[in-house]
Structure 1
């Protein structure tokens, strides 16, 4: 482990934020974390970080602040609340929001935080829990290019593909496109697997040959085997992808862009959630396909 004098505060130590904070500690940063669940903070301490009892305490001396929280209102509260980042961080600190939120909210909170002296980037991530654990996330970054260049070494401690995509809000726009593609791909992979099962095909062999051709994709590579086995432990929950699809629908409507397949997939995601699958991995869309096909998981 190398030494790095920068202090990085991480707010939100869940499925994604916890491994990201741990990787920053491994990379030699002085990492201080806050989470509403104390056991998550303790897990970071055991991996070389420090714990804080509040957002204000975590960010007070930080050079870089990373937030990884569930939704737009959470980011607004963490950033702009009385106990939040803007009210308590030192002037000139870099705030990187790695959450997935509405692009318009990303622009608004960055503007408000900038007026308080923070330098802001929206930097949502893709790659799921395993990507976070392996420090192999794909990170799409919006904001000032100079701030991005300064923050890039921090991002390189948690990600592998790190790309500047434009001004404030652009990272969230690209992430919305990412979630649109991922949801549609999961749905089609689920339909294909149930189709193969209905005909009694060796699904392992089928997945191998499909993954090697034009139908090949990351969902087949990383999730098809667990989907076939009926294992849906969350790397990324349906509840969260349902939220993201709402972001996509609203943003597409605002831009006047037709997304007929995306809109239908959003309805399927919502239906799966209403059936009680919200706590499962988003690949549990397969359970909905099985149910609609009269082939419930055994």
Structure 2
């Protein structure tokens, strides 16, 4: 895979910033693992949740930074783990215009595959690469190769 022409230079570990949107039952432990890893490598983990108290608690417990949506747009990578595709659409609408060149957005929402496919080319993602990774496939693979077709 090659980066788009608008992509910035690859971030160094000292400057790597990863944002995580959605700290529910699946998102919280995923964001916690990212925060621990980034902290040990000199990076920054930004977190946002519609309930601000959850993001603040995450920051206190895991060393992430509770952030506004506007602050998330400066991240090199954005992970989203939301209840439905409808919520993903809302965040894409809000964040897409302000994303940094070369941002990579990884969506882990168990939403509708058709909605994920529709979001991929939106405005050619103007400035971002998008990857849609249904959680159900990740969860199935995590159970072991004997269950993976």
Superposed, 1:95-106 pairs within 5 Å as 95-106=105-116
Give the number of aligned pairs.
127
Which of the residues 57, 65, 81 maps onto 1:50? Answer: 65
Higher-helix-fraction structure: 1
Higher relative contact order (CA 8 A, sep 6+): 2
Shift of 1:77: 0.5
Q: Secondary structure at the match of 1:14?
A: coil
Separation in 1 of the partners of 2:122 and 2:109? 17
Aligned counterparts of 2:126 and 2:57: Cα–Cα separation in 1:
32
Using a 3 Å threshold, how does the CA distance of structure 1 residues 139 and 76 change in structure 2: closer, same or farther? farther
Matched, 1:125 2:125: no
Structure 2 alignment gaps of length 5 or more: 1-12
Which residue, 24, 41, 57 being the options, matches 2:55?
41
Shift of 1:4: 5.8
- The Cα of 1:5 is off from its aligned counterpart by 3.6
Structure 1: gaps spanning 5 or more residues: 128-136, 141-159, 162-216, 218-298
| TM-score calculated relative to the size of structure 1 | 0.39
Q: Distance in 2 between matches of 1:97 and 1:33?
A: 14
Q: Equivalents in 2 of 1:85, 1:139: separation in Å? A: 30
Once the two structures are superposed, residues 86-119 of structure 1 have per-residue CA deviations (whole angstroms, 9 ceiling, x without a partner) of: 1221121000010011111111111116331110
2:78 to 65, 72, 77: 65
* Residues 1-298 of structure 1 mapped to structure 2, 5 A cutoff: 5-28=15-38, 29-46=43-60, 47-53=62-68, 55-58=69-72, 60-80=73-93, 84-112=94-122, 114-126=124-136, 138=139
Counterpart Cα distance in 1 of 2:133 and 2:90: 18
Cα separation, 2, equivalents of 1:64 and 1:114: 17
Moved over 2 A (4+): 137-140
Partner of residue 5, structure 2: none
RMSD, aligned CA: 2.4
Instruction: Flag the 1:93–1:78 CA change in 2: closer, same or farther, 3 A.
Output: same
Q: Computing the radius of gyration over CA atoms, which structure comes out larger, 1 or 2?
A: 1
CA contact (8 A) 1:10 1:31 kept: yes
Distance, in Å, in 2 between the alignment partners of 1:108 and 1:62 is 23
TM-score, structure 2 length as denominator?
0.75
